[in-house]
Structure 1
Amino acid sequence: MRFVQLARNAMGTRFELVLPARETPALRAAAEAALAEIDRIEAELSVYCPTSQVAHLNRLAAQQSVKVTHELFCLLQRARDIWLNTQGAFDITVGPVLHCWGITNGAGRVPTQHELTAARALVGMDKIELSETDRTVRFKCAGVQINLGAIGKGFAVDAAIAMLRDAGVRNALVHAGTSTVFALGKSPDANPWKVAILAPPENFGAAAPAACSLTAGERHDTRPAICVVELADAALSVSAVWGRWLQTQNGAYGHIVDPRTAMPVRDTLLGAVVRPNATEADALSTALVVLGVHGLDTLAYAYPGTRMLAITSSARDKKFSVHTLGLNCK
């Protein structure tokens, strides 16, 4: 079968649409519209775009209440709910801490305890007021910032899927850099789509390889599959700490930070979450890395029916262990 396959660079990654059907003008137009929707969302949510709504909030919301679109307000409400349900492990206000560690600009540095304490004081969704009455946002103190990087890609994937559905597309795969994927309908063989979660690389601090592969069959990556996940009208998101490490004399630090302690996660290498939508899957995979293996029960309680996988490591022998809930891994 022929495929319609289009890609777009956005949000610091490569979005790809795969439609298992013969190309027609209408199908091509639907795919192009879905990609345009991803561009639109990036322009609204990116902290790196000075004209985005999020950048506007970060400039003004500590001084005054700022009215936002219905779309952004609802996303902020969802982020607050996830923050509550994950006991603060997912937090869109973690930006000041990321800046301290040099993660935002990629420089990498070990901050002083004074810097961490000051940054930690600015973190927490309890420092943001969301007014449903007039759909406004206000930060309770100066220095608070929001960054939707850990939920925005999933939100964009969901938006693209919604555009495809509205155009009558019944089967498609949309992914953001192979870390977050939504499988609409069925694959070309009329079965659920299959996505392989790959084993950690031997050198955790090496250049970042993919955490998952969009096909369970032929792959260029030689690492074994830890688990093959079947998806039909569902999303899988995988968050992994390898590839972006800060190496110091006291050990290596990953790029995923626990908002509650302001310290990078070190024991959990990967978190994978299957949910009915990519927005939640994206956010919860990050939360699972922060919470570690105990997060399996925490997230299962808050989000019944969630399928999950966590990979933890032993600093002593560099071996890893796989922990699952609801996923049958071979």
Structure 2
Amino acid sequence: MNGASRHQATNRVDAGRRRLVQAAALGACLTAWPVAHAASGGPVRLRDSRLLMGTQVDIAAESQEAALLRPALDAAFDRMDRLSSVMSHYEPTSRVAAIGLAAGLMPVPVPPELMQVLQMAQAISRRSDGAFDVTIGSVGHWHFDPQNPHMPTPAYIARHLPNVDYRRLVLDARAGTAQLTRPGMRVDAGGIAKLYILAAGIDTLKQHGLDTALINGGGDVVAISRPAALPWRVGIRDPRAPAKLLGTLDLRHGFVASSGDYERCFVRDGRHYHHVLDPKTGYPANGPRGVTLVGGELAALNGLGAAAMVLGTDQGRELIRHTAGVEGLIAGRDGDMWITPSLRSRLMAA
């Protein structure tokens, strides 16, 4: 259990509505399911929640074989916890921290999972011309817990901003190493690691024999569903009014990923600070209120929302339009909403 909290739902839902309503981008509220109970001879369903990556992570799954569920969920949580420890820039013993400690000195061996995340980071950095930059950690640790916020001093940010440069992260996939070429540089994989870790959790569930499951972590959703099952129903928050749903959509397989200025944030001296940092300034981006993406492939959309938040509505819209297999919406700071036609056609009233 690793000291993480867990709880299980105990209420029934109608078997004909085997769907989960989840508010993408903010909430962590799942509709309740019976625990280890088959409704009308149907599949057994189980839900569990734990604290990982600084947020609540929920898994909901079902199987015809009740004995598969608990071991599968435990294994998925364990794998996500291990990957989080490897990729956290807050953890002084993580591989990400080791890359920073060796900056300007030597390459650092990294596990294959971290190599994949860093390769994804480089890919979206190139596509967005640096609007996403995994070396944003060079400007210091920001903490967006409203109860205990922390930000680097302006002098620290100004002094270290020249170290933010994704082109100085050198990856050697054959040797399995990563190197920052300038002293003082740091990696912060938070903007791209979470969705990868959630997808790894789904992969673990599949390896343990499950074919219908959903994982939500802080509003990012990953789902699989067998052909005969009803799809998952996912709620899309309205970034202009985060307490409300813009609508819902059915999801059989793939991802719903959201970024917003209302998610991890705090207010200091009358100014609103949120977790999507602009690599050009070292401060929170002044772009849209929020971006939500829907797609079937992790590599296509991972990091894309953060990049669009930095680029702004016009350039972000073009970035999404030119990404095959990805639907999306952008809520502008002026109250306007842009939605791809394919996503608009899928949205249903909440």
The alignment's TM-score, normalised by the length of structure 1, stands at 0.81
Aligned position for 1:272: 292
Partner of 1:129, secondary structure, is strand
Change (3 A) 1:35 1:115: closer
Aligned position for 1:205: none
State whether residues 287 and 311 of structure 2, in contact with CA within 8 Å, keep that contact through their aligned partners in structure 1: no
State whether residues 183 and 234 of structure 1, in contact with CA within 8 Å, keep that contact through their aligned partners in structure 2: yes
1:183 and 2:198 aligned: no
1:25 and 2:67 aligned: yes
1 CA distance for matches of 2:85 and 2:152?
Answer: 32
1:195 and 2:237 aligned: no
2 CA distance for matches of 1:63 and 1:174?
Answer: 39
Aligned position for 1:215: none
| C-alpha deviation, 1:224, in angstroms | 3.2
Change (3 A) 1:110 1:137: closer
Partner of 1:121, secondary structure, is helix
Give structure 2 stretches of 5+ with no counterpart: 1-38
Give structure 1 stretches of 5+ with no counterpart: 203-210, 212-222, 315-319
2 CA distance for matches of 1:57 and 1:109?
Answer: 22
Alignment deviations for residues 125-173 of structure 1 (CA, whole Å, 9 cap, x no partner): 1111112342222211111100111112111111111111122211111
Aligned match for 2:135, one of 87, 93, 96:
93
| C-alpha deviation, 1:102, in angstroms | 6.3
State whether residues 245 and 255 of structure 1, in contact with CA within 8 Å, keep that contact through their aligned partners in structure 2: no
Aligned position for 1:208: none
Partner of 1:165, secondary structure, is helix
Alignment deviations for residues 250-308 of structure 1 (CA, whole Å, 9 cap, x no partner): x534332211333422341111111224565442222222222221221331x212101
Alignment deviations for residues 183-219 of structure 1 (CA, whole Å, 9 cap, x no partner): 10159x93321211122476xxxxxxxx6xxxxxxxx
Percent identity reads: 26
2 CA distance for matches of 1:110 and 1:156?
Answer: 27
2 CA distance for matches of 1:20 and 1:158?
Answer: 17
Matched residue type, 2:232: W
Change (3 A) 1:84 1:267: closer
1:238 and 2:279 aligned: no
1:52 and 2:94 aligned: yes
Map 1:150-229 to 2 at 5 A: 150-177=191-218, 179-185=219-225, 190-200=229-239, 223-229=243-249
1:148 and 2:183 aligned: no
2 CA distance for matches of 1:52 and 1:280?
Answer: 26
Aligned position for 1:261: 281
State whether residues 152 and 279 of structure 1, in contact with CA within 8 Å, keep that contact through their aligned partners in structure 2: no
Matched residue type, 1:172: A
Partner of 1:181, secondary structure, is strand
Matched residue type, 1:300: R
Identify the structure with bigger relative contact order (alpha carbons < 8 Å, sequence gap 6+).
2
Aligned position for 2:304: 284
1 CA distance for matches of 2:299 and 2:82?
Answer: 16
